Structure 1
């Protein structure tokens, strides 16, 4: 009888199942996303359905509040639980756009989902990064110390696990040894607590949740994605290829508006950006806590106006090919995205 799969193997299989979308489902969902009932005026959609995040202001929400989307409206349909879930919802037509880690987009495209990345929406820089934290008294000091340990992250097969793999590989850990590091799904809002209760040895903390945990003391960083790769755009918004083809003006308005919001957030004093975000959250009336917004520093997008570069997908194409999750050469970085509709940063 074959040995039972390890928890890590089971977790990875569960994630791959999450991303496994049948061609029929995608085809049906895409028709829904581009059909009527979504605020059409003339021949193009004028209201975009999307998922948000609790206590957080997404770039499209900021763009809408700043008036950068013109007559284009956003319709919030709920909050996403993860990037892979968000782009899956976009691919199947439940929403018009969704955002995720670029590696998850590669994986979804490899499953024959007809999607196209249209603009970067989050990234990594000296202020915005994911840190891999341990308790202050933890014996973990190196990559090899992680063998046999549990690492909590928001989802598997995405940004956090990819960077963990990069860290292990760059520090001489073989694939066989890396399999002994157990990646576990832990909701971001619970990661600090689970780490402090010693249910995991390492917790991935980002942005405001990271800053709050660091402020409380008792933890220290092992490494961060900024340490490994420097500044880069890490995730993109995607739409279905059919939607892009049938709604080019809408896509241009959306992408350019989001790009303008990125540049507004860069050029505006931080306190003013936070004040604007706080007002947006309060106005939408969802009984959300706005206290974490005070830790906001930037969206971390590298390219001007969110324009995408080949290297922001090539890294993950190589990573997934090395893991055996996609066939080498089947996809190209240039085929996964377009800057055609982004009027920001041209030239």
Structure 2
């Protein structure tokens, strides 16, 4: 009996120990992701033995957690199978079809991926100028530059945790009609209290003629090196893929100059996905995590509205993935379908 138990438990202990070492290694190189940005970071660490595990951890909200069970949850993540897929860069210029597009196409024609995943590869080919798309098919910006990107009745909900008071605040902000000023209806709920308030922010994000900036949505567009007026002045230092519900959001990481305050900001909308303040001297800490919003769901609806991919196109896709037709023949077939409005992406 004891021999059987040991034969199972000891390998598990070794595996857990290996995962802990991997987490330590990922924590050691994570600051470079923020400094270099995603593209340069991946170039530098392309052959690092733990890079896939690190990307899995970075892409999970647990990575940003300060809870006592953080390490256990990260170890559990590493215990799950890691799908080895190339990291996608939708703006990459290339003369060859990347392997991840063929991988996605294979899974799509097998019924293992949805249409929007397959269409991502086609959009990549359009952005890379490999497909001469008709006017209107390429990605269009959804938010005006240098403006706060919200619409009437958009809402954002946060869970705000304060280690000093050991309290959790559920905060909801609902936006009015955008203009020179934007009305915001606020509801704060704690275990002891519920408060409601109304205020306005101007086009720069200043709250009601004060010198305090609104810290939950920022003006777009946001790039590496952008300086943002928030709860504290912050500067974006890198990119990350941030998980939100069933989505993977392109996001920017920003820090204040003291490295005590951090925000993870949605790249498309400027909505703050996660924020954290940690005063190491006073030993105070609070964090705000986006828990719900309807801004992203509307964005996705716009992005994929009217998508049409004929089911019979799975046959040419299969021929291409099996090498029975060439890349140029495959691209020509997509060109034909797009230009004749048989396929809509």
TM norm structure 2: 0.23
* TM-score where L is the length of structure 1: 0.23
Structure ranking higher on relative contact order (CA contacts 8 Å, 6+ apart): 1
In terms of fraction of residues, the more helix-rich structure is: 1
- The structure whose Rg is larger is 2
